[in-house]
């Protein structure tokens, strides 16, 4: 059992607030990912949870117990650092067993626990090496092994994979997901990487400037972003935005004016009236090339990835990114027309808040465990 609650926690570095009142509830065995632009306070938040950084105000509780005043080693957490932070003068075995040595665990028992962790991570042949004789991926595994040996109730990872090359990153990502299942531990994970966040998280926490913008499952953030920031931050390439004028709003949705005709977006139009200006948001993968579409653009750049093609379009002073299939034959400077399914579109008010969709996306509430269960046994 390991739950974590943050109640309105604040971090103040000599007058500048870096964390501005964060509330968060992490359930037992949940995999929570912190994302956000550089400098938004992800590491600071994690270090506060770890106890490496004091908390200016607010409360941190683990399993319902306030831990603000508890030292980092006594919170039952383990942290994996971006830089690995292995002890360079110790062998892999000593690195992994250091916490046990400090806790005065007898040598034989220590070795047993280290071996058990090494087995999980396939580190057995490396136990006698020093960190400098390891590759980046191996070092990362040792750092994770060091955390596992402590048998923590909560694992903290601060961008653990960002120093690895792309192929290794994919491999470690899968390994971490497997570990999460095998260890049955609560995990909190900081990353810059969209794919890591979307694939590993049960719950994503989007941060900006020390404030939580939205908390939700990956599919919820993707389909129901709470505001324009989250909409732009989740998803790659970024969501397209266009200023539009409201024609009218009723229970069925909001009518907005597009260059090639009106369009009805099925969102709640409370408080919106004709003549207002809203921002239409539509993801590149939801734009479809269509000879009769209401939107046009001239191709500036084409990126062919094989399976899909990204088109960078320009129309007047608005720019669009459109992800089409891999076989589009268009060339740069071609003029194309395109459209979209209004159900996939989002509308944002002037202060950035999204108008709620009238129907919830069917996958928005799916969690990773359901993902794994086959749909047949699921009964749906």
Partner 1 sequence: MNPTMTKKLLLTLLAWGIALIVFFPIFWMVLTGFKTEGEAVATPPSLFFEPTLAGYHEVMARADYLKFALNSIVISFGSTLLALIVAIPSAYSMAFLPTKRTRGTLLWMLSTKMLPPVGVLMPVYLLFRDMGLLDSQLGLTIVYMLMNLPIVVWMLYTFFKDIPKDILEAGRMDGAGTLQEVLYLLLPLTLPGIASTGLLSVILSWNEAFWSLNLTTSDAAPLTAFIASFSSPEGLFWAKLSAASTLAIAPILIFGWLTQKQMVRGLTFGAVK
Ligand X SMILES: Nc1ncnc2c1ncn2[C@@H]1O[C@H](COP(=O)(O)OP(=O)(O)OP(=O)(O)O)[C@@H](O)[C@H]1O
Binding site for ligand X (CB under 6 A): 13, 18, 36, 38-44
Part of the chain binding partner 1 (CB under 8 A), chosen from 16-24, 28-36, 74-82, 199-207? 74-82
In the complex, minimum distance from the CB of residue 63 to Mg ion, in angstroms, rounded to a whole number = 26
- Does 46 interact with partner 1 (rule: CB under 8 A)? no
Q: Is the dihedral of CA 281, 283, 286, 288 positive or negative?
A: positive
Residue 162 Cβ, how far from ligand X at the closest point, in Å?
Answer: 9
| CA–CA gap between residue 326 and residue 344 (Å, rounded) | 22
Is 13 a binding residue for partner 1 by CB under 8 A? The answer is no
Stretch that binds partner 1, among 99-107, 231-239, 274-282, 283-291 (CB under 8 A): 99-107
Q: Which stretch binds partner 1 (CB under 8 A): 79-87, 201-209, 260-268, 295-303?
A: 79-87
Beta sheet of 335-340, edge-to-edge order: 287-289, 335-340, 295-304, 308-315, 318-325
Residue 44 lies near partner 1 (rule: CB under 8 A): no
Phi first, then psi: what are they for 56, rounded to 5°?
-70, -50
Task: Give the nearer residue to Mg ion in terms of CB position, either 99 or 191.
Answer: 191
Name the residue among 131, 16, 5 with its Cα closest to residue 59: 5
Closest residue by Cα to residue 83 from 142, 123, 130, 28: 142
Integer-rounded Cα radius of gyration of the chain: 24
Mask of contacts with partner 1, 108-147, x by CB under 8 A? --------------------------------------x-
Distances (CA, A) of 368 to 181, 218, 361: 11, 9, 16
Q: Pick the piece of the chain touching partner 1 (CB under 8 A) from 84-92, 170-178, 269-277, 340-348.
A: 84-92
Closer to partner 1 at the Cβ: 98 or 233? 98
Minimum CB–partner distance for residue 13 and ligand X (Å)? 3
* Binding flag, residue 43, Mg ion (CB under 5 A): yes
Residue with Cβ nearer partner 1 (85 or 177): 85
Angle at CA of residue 364, ends 363 and 367, nearest 5°: 80
Query: How far from the centroid of its chain's Cα atoms is residue 54's Cα?
Result: 25
Q: Please state the closest distance from residue 56 (CB atom) to ligand X, in A.
A: 12
Q: Cα torsion at 175, 177, 179, 183 (round to 10°)?
A: 180
Q: Is 356 an interacting residue with respect to partner 1 (CB under 8 A)? A: no
- Check binding of 55 to Mg ion (CB under 5 A): no
The pair of three-digit structure tokens given for residue 314, joined into one six-digit string: 């320009």
From the list ligand X, partner 1, Mg ion, none, which binds 72 (C-beta under 5 to 8 Å, kind-based)? partner 1
Q: Which of 244, 275, 240 is nearest to 258 (CA)?
A: 244
Q: How far apart are the first and last CA of the chain?
A: 30
Angle at 70 between CA 64 and CA 73, to 5 degrees: 110
Based on CB atoms, which residue is closest to partner 1, 103 or 356? 103
The site for partner 1 (CB under 8 A) is made up of 50, 52, 71-74, 77-79, 81, 83, 85-89, 98-99, 102-103, 146, 150
């Amino acid at each position: 059992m390991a739950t974590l609650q943050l109640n309105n926690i604040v971090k103040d570095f000599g007058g500048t607030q870096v964390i501005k009142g964060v509330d968060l509830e992490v359930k037992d065995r949940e995999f929570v990912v912190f994302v956000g632009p550089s400098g938004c306070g992800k590491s600071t938040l994690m270090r506060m949870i770890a106890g490496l950084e004091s908390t200016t105000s607010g409360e941190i509780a683990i399993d319902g117990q306030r831990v603000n005043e508890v030292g980092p080693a006594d919170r039952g957490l383990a942290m994996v650092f971006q830089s690995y932070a292995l002890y360079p003068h110790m062998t892999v075995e000593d690195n992994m067993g250091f916490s046990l040595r400090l806790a005065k665990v007898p040598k034989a028992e220590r070795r047993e626990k280290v071996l058990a962790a090494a087995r999980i991570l396939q580190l057995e042949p490396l136990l006698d090496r020093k960190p400098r004789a390891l590759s980046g991926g191996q070092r990362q595994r040792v750092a994770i092994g060091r955390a596992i040996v402590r048998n923590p109730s909560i694992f903290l990872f601060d961008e653990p994979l960002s120093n690895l090359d792309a192929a290794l990153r994919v491999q470690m990502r899968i390994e971490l997901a497997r570990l999460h299942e095998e260890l049955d531990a609560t995990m909190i994970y900081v990353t810059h990487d969209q794919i890591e966040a979307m694939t590993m998280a049960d719950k994503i926490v989007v941060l900006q400037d020390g404030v939580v913008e939205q908390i939700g499952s990956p599919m919820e953030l993707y389909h129901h972003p709470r505001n324009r920031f989250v909409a732009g931050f989740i998803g790659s390439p970024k969501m397209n935005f266009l200023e539009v004028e409201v024609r009218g709003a009723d229970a069925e949705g909001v009518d907005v004016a597009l260059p090639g005709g009106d369009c009805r977006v099925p969102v709640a139009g409370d408080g919106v009236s004709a003549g207002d200006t809203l921002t239409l948001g539509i993801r590149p993968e939801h734009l479809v090339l269509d000879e009769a579409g209401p939107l046009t653009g001239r191709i500036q750049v084409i990126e062919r990835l094989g399976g899909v093609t990204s088109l960078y379009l320009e129309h007047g002073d608005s720019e669009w990114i459109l992800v089409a299939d891999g076989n589009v034959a268009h060339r740069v400077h071609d003029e194309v027309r395109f459209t979209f399914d209004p159900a996939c579109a989002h509308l944002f008010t002037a202060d950035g808040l999204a108008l709620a969709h009238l129907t919830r996306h069917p996958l928005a509430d799916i969690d990773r465990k359901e993902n794994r269960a086959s749909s047949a046994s699921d009964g749906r």
